[in-house]
Amino acid sequence: MEFRPSRRAGLILNIITIFVLLPTVVFAVLQVSSAPLSMWTVVWVLLPLLGVPLIFMLVYNLIGLLSARYVIDRDGFHLRWGWAYEQIPIKDIISLQTIAAGDETIRPGGWPRWPATATSSIPNARYGIIDFYIAAGRSARLLMETQGRALVISPADPQGFQEAYREASLLGSLQSIEAVSQRPRFALTRLLSDRSGLVLLALGIILPLILLGYLAVRVPDLPFEVPFGFDAEGFPQTYAPPGRLLLMPLISGFCWAVNLLFGLWLYRSQANRPLAYALWVTSIVVSGLFLGATLHLLAA
């Protein structure tokens, strides 16, 4: 039988937040391209740099919620949550129990926590590792214990799920299935212990921030117009307000965010990891080019 988590609260929260962030980011980009440069307009650059990655995270949460399902049958338990997939043979399930209200020892880990969903892992003295695949809602949360780990789920009909599990365990399996655990967040976990990858990502975002800080410091000294185009002989041809220079750190930061996401997708595979590094090196090169271009425009 197939069960789904209570998704209404999570979907509403994610969608509303996306619809608030999107116009904010668009408005900030328009301000960057048209408003006169000042110490305050530097904030307009930070909004897209922070807002775009957050929107990607919210979209990922939406995909997880829309695809979330718990399936229990005679052969085992199957879970789908976005790109995460869990499969546990019925014989490997030790127990299924309701988590007592107010039990602080079994709660999602990580910070910051998004209230709409929780897909995280925490160490536990009793169960070893507890993996959470839960959504916001008032339905009871169930803890499924297996050898060396446990899963916390939140089906909208917890009693129906427990009854389906009891029936499946009494009937016995028709065929043997393997235990499967595919969790894309492990790419980020491995990256956090990869010094080379972290250094590349840090350099890629530090350069746009340095450029942003440099422009903020130079605000009082900037000319009324700066060249933004050159003819075939290299002489300035098109001029624009100095506020247009804020597009430089904005675009390089956006390139860094896109390369970060695609790089994480490639990073999951050991064979594709050099391609992930190449993308992150590209972010450094792009940021350096934008930094050099800005300095050249100001010196022209």
Averaged over successive runs of 10 residues, the pLDDT of the chain (300 residues) comes to: 88 91 87 67 76 83 90 93 90 89 65 65 84 80 90 92 92 85 67 83 89 78 72 68 77 87 83 91 92 80
pLDDT for 275 equals: 93
How many residues are given for the chain?
300
pLDDT for 188 equals: 63
pLDDT for 184 equals: 65
- Alpha-carbon gap, residue 285 to 240, rounded angstroms: 25
pLDDT for 233 equals: 65
- Alpha-carbon gap, residue 284 to 214, rounded angstroms: 17
For residue 285, CA distances in Å to 81, 212, 250, 289 come to: 36, 17, 15, 6
pLDDT for 300 equals: 65
pLDDT for 183 equals: 74
The amino acid at 265: W
- Alpha-carbon gap, residue 218 to 221, rounded angstroms: 5
Is residue 279 a contact partner of residue 197, using CB atoms and an 8 Å limit? no
pLDDT for 171 equals: 86
Q: What is the 3-state secondary structure (H, E, C) of 23-68?
A: HHHHHHHHHHHHCCCCCCCHHHHHHHHHHHHHHHHHHHHHHHHHHC
79 bridge partner residues: 70, 86
| Domain positions in the chain | 1-179, 185-300
Q: Which of 67, 80, 78 is nearest to 178 (CA)?
A: 78
